[in-house]
Structure 1
Amino acid sequence: MGYEQEYSEASFWSKARQTAKKAGKKVIYSALLLYYTTRRPETPRWAKTAIYGALGYFVSVIDFIPDVTPFVGYADDLGVLAIALSVCAAYVNEEVRQKAREKLCDWFGKEALTVDGTLERFRK
């Protein structure tokens, strides 16, 4: 199953909004970084395809670890998103990071970027 076929902008925003608190900051921030990277005209088609596959996995109801599983339900999603981020990192620029941080702050509050410091690495 190609997860990129599971992706749509509407399904992404619906899943991200509905699961933001349950999925957590790291998962949502990673997904937002990828989403905004696809919006850049400079991002090549191959990178967008990889990102759509990762975001498709995120929005899909078929998961390796079901999202309803307490504590670890989004670990597989985070892993897939992290792989896509590492493959497409060259296309994640400061504008993408800023948009993702702003949306993250909308949903989690300003402290979302400094609570544990792990999101700070995406600022560079």
Structure 2
Amino acid sequence: MALYLAYKKNDVPWYAKVFVMIVVGYALSPIDLIPDFIPILGYLDDIILIPLGVSLAIKMIPKDILEECRKEAEDIFKDKKPKNWVAAAVITVLWVLIIITILHKFINRY
């Protein structure tokens, strides 16, 4: 959120804005450099590229602006608490049922 807020500031250099846009876009994009279905390598790009991009973006943004954006982001999320426990419970129950079904079919197979 701090990167997004910094992106909107006029005092941030244009090249930092472009890089922030690329990093945030890549992080939120369903399309990866290496598809996630490829074992190990699929998640490796997310584990390496996104933190590397975020750290480089942070270095491009002036420190005073970044600190201001961090405080703004903290204020935005300070009072935000999960409010939809029903949806979380339904999703959790569905995952548990899927896992039980898979285990049941696997165990009955042998």
TM-score w.r.t. the length of structure 2 is 0.51
Is contact 2:20–2:57 with CA below 8 Å preserved after alignment?
Answer: yes
Asked if 1:100 is matched to 2:73, the reply is yes
- What do the CA deviations read for 1:4-46 (whole angstroms, capped 9, x no partner)? xxxxxxxxxxxxxxxxxxxxxxxxxxxx111111121111222
Larger Rg: 2
What is the CA-CA distance between 1:62 and the residue it aligns to?
1.7
- 1:48 and 1:38 map into 2 onto residues whose CA distance is 5
Alignment of structure 1 residues 17-56 onto 2, 5 Å:
32-56=1-25
CA RMSD, 1 decimal = 3.2
Identity %: 25
Q: Could you list the runs of 5+ residues in structure 1 that have no partner in the other structure?
A: 1-31, 110-124
Alignment of structure 1 residues 75-86 onto 2, 5 Å:
75=47, 76-86=49-59
What residue is the counterpart of 1:87 in the other structure? Answer: 60
What's the secondary structure of 2:6's corresponding residue?
helix
Q: Could you list the runs of 5+ residues in structure 2 that have no partner in the other structure?
A: 83-110
TM-score w.r.t. the length of structure 1 is 0.46
Aligned residues: 77
